[in-house]
Structure 1
């Protein structure tokens, strides 16, 4: 029976009792008027004092109270677990929504839809490198590294100090090991500069453990020691003889030369192969978003890429939303490492396409610099954006992070405020041809 129903039935009973008049004792006669005669005052009943509770009773009462508290606590805990599960469910839904928004945002950051075609001749035959410091040649990376090495060997005799320092920086890949080596060599030179007459600072034992681990194991160090003034000699050591690098006593007096050796070693920089942009220019084309990408653009083959993508999609379906932040970050990093290079085409206002090759780890500043150096009016500000209109700023992340790998088309637009100002001052708008004449001379059909 519901509470409301009981309430109304109780009210009906009360009404009936009121209609029947006031109540009276059964052993007393009722009044003619139906009213109850006032009852005589009865004597107060004596109050019986309560007996003190026994220890067992108090203990039982305490246990009962404790049981009630535990029951209440369990009820609260159960309520807390329900709330926690509801919160987790809500967080999962929010995370799912966040991922969907991030995916949509990433899609918006990409250029217009692109089609990567593998069954036609690629627009980039090979990934080539250059090194302007050694000459104009453009070669594959391995051949360019060999050409740099040969360039250093060829110049060692004419410029031994500078060339040997360059060899240390260029021929060794580990920056940490190079730094330790340079610091150690600087210490040797400082000892001689600060103590030019003390012979103990002129000698370096070749078999010394620190020398072997910090200096001798790197390429170019032997050439630098000889260029500095050391020569390898056999000298008495303990009970026998050992090989020592011994500094020329006469050269030790030339402190200015020693300081120059230090400066050369500290200021030298490595000669590294630079990615050649393989710059090409195309007439306006409806096929601008179609690309034929060489296998060199990928860290894995296209077939392996498809298999990996399929495997990840299946794993994601199995896991559903139960993916931790670390798992998502690991997947993102794996995604970014798929590509080594990216092919970018900048569509100019006249429809002409300027194409260049970039590392996937480069950022938008390199793309802006590439476009700017080929413009006839390179001093006018401009903006690059994706096909969806998303502005690509110079300070943004890597090309892979922006979704611009392995190939994309970006749209070029002048800064309209500057264009209007130029037109007002010169009386005419910027020329319709945007690239330098020597660049436009290379234009071809896509």
Structure 2
């Protein structure tokens, strides 16, 4: 990756890290809190003397607490606290039921052919982006935000903007790789054959160009950033649209070569899985739950890979193998899920719930 791209990503990471540090302070500001005495006086003046009924209720509650403490011991007190928290959780769930209706309706609209029955263990899979900001969003929302971020931040540098758009705003990686390969071919043909006029013209209605370049976001912008301009030229007795590399741009072939190198070495903006750590009460953990479609739905690319694996397995079974080779194949990790939901039960009957990637247990 070029130094310019590295500096760009390092600057954005530093900005996000700075935001995590909290609000700023001036070096010459008074660190001692002002109006402390006034605040205390106000709070004392606003304090209301409890009524006789409240005093009696408090005394009775204290007496019950002391009697339970002396008879049942700390274990039952812990259980009582858990029951109290459970009741509060149930009341909070009832209050939030209406708020969650919109969320579940949205999930139903996004649901694929895979049916989800029962209560969802989590409303979805969400991510963070260390380079852009601190928000926790779904993958689809991040795709939109990343594209807006690139267009806004790199509007003064069309070369880097087009490279980042190609790498980050097209989600079929095989098509992106084909497009990059073709763009590199266009540029290298000009560099190696600068006197050949045919290499400096690209017909926009060319079948290969329409299939591999036009659908990719940022591809046309990349060609324009290295010098190509749109022109109408005669082709087979009719005028057609072309991208033409002007002759006066042949003096900038060193820039074209460095831009091609940046395109090939550029990295994608990575998303980090939000673990969504939750502490569950026994009543919540005992409910039968289902996982949202994001946990196990497969994209077209993944289906293609799965089909390829099955074909390889069939071909592999037709080959004679030693016992060692068979054992090695049987021990291969084969995950059907993108993510997994982990629950750990603690001695006080609370559960810790977290979303994890497909990684080994020792890595947790």
Query: Normalising to structure 1: TM-score of the pair?
Result: 0.41
Larger Rg: 1
| Bigger fraction of residues in helix | 2
Query: Normalising to structure 2: TM-score of the pair?
Result: 0.49
Which fold has the larger relative contact order, with Cα–Cα distance below 8 Å and residues 6 or more apart in sequence? Answer: 2
